[in-house]
Amino acid sequence: MSDPRFSSVLASRFEGYIALQRAAGADYRNPTKRLAAFDRSLCREDFRGPWLTQDIVERYIRSLSHLACTTRYGIICLLRRFCTYLRQFDSDTYVPDLASQRNTQARPHLHVITEMDVVVLLQAALQLPPPGSLRPMTAYTLFGLLYSCGLRIGEAIGLDLADVHLSEQKLFIHKSKFQKSRWVPMSHSTATALGRYIERRSTLFPATPQDPVFVHLRGGRFFQQNVYNDFRQAMRQCGLRGGKGSPGPRIHDLRHAFASHRLLTWYRQGRDVNALLPALATYMGHACISYTQTYLHATPELMQAANERFHRNFHVNILTQGDSQ
């Protein structure tokens, strides 16, 4: 699909900025569409330049009031980056202040999924109908992979058979979010479960290395909506979610659980958590460590482990200081 055309007096600046982002490795299809919308607004305003003023930028921001808070805030962040880019050509360019535009919408309530919840969920997945079909095993293996490897849903259902290296116990994730490809190691138990599923799946639907790992009942690639439906049904079966419209854990909370449980394990092992966070960010495919930090939540178990670590270190420091006096 070709890029939208830019027609305002800033057309060459829009195109130059997008080219710069793509040269840095960004996909930039969605931001390009959003910048094109701003370009059309400038045309409607009969904007002639020579620089973007506070009035015209904030008038466009007010026109976004009908959008969801998160969407609106993302567009404002994009405008800020573009205006910062323009300022190198004209120092009078207005750059919107994010502090006054901060997203005040509450984030979706996080349901902390425990290890026991995961066990119960996987057992419920094996009971999904129809009995004897591939569906229960697909849900069981997919949910387990999302939790044990911290994958995004799109990454898991996007796996082809050629991306699975069972003998080496690792997966290859092609360009995912942030255009990052990476190898994802698996535990022995995860690789074993995935291998059993692939064997069953290949018996029912013979496939080439380029065919998908996870398939629906007709043998085609699993869609995200399939995943959501199976997850909600399994959650209701095991009592972790109520009826329709009842709040409950989201499937993306499995990725949150992976990160939090990994952090808890490191605390209990006495590992240097701060030094290991960059490794966790790389494993999860994040562009920077700050994205990983949003996945780390102060669960009671995590707070207890951190508190015990503090007291141990504090006690050692007190004894050391006492010996040196």
Q: Catalytic site residues?
A: 152, 177, 252, 255, 286, 295
Dihedral of the CA atoms 289, 290, 296, 302 (nearest 10)?
A: 70
Spatial separation of the C-alpha atoms in residues 211 and 205, rounded to whole Å: 10
Q: Supply 168's token pair.
A: 């080496």
Spatial separation of the C-alpha atoms in residues 97 and 53, rounded to whole Å: 13
Q: Could you tell me how many helices (H) and strands (E) the chain has, helices first? A: 13, 3
Q: Supply 245's token pair.
A: 């419209």
Instruction: Decide: helix, strand or coil at residue 184.
Output: strand
Cα angle 26, 28, 33; round to 5: 170
Instruction: Decide: helix, strand or coil at residue 183.
Output: strand
In angstroms, how far is CA 27 from the centroid of its own chain?
Answer: 16
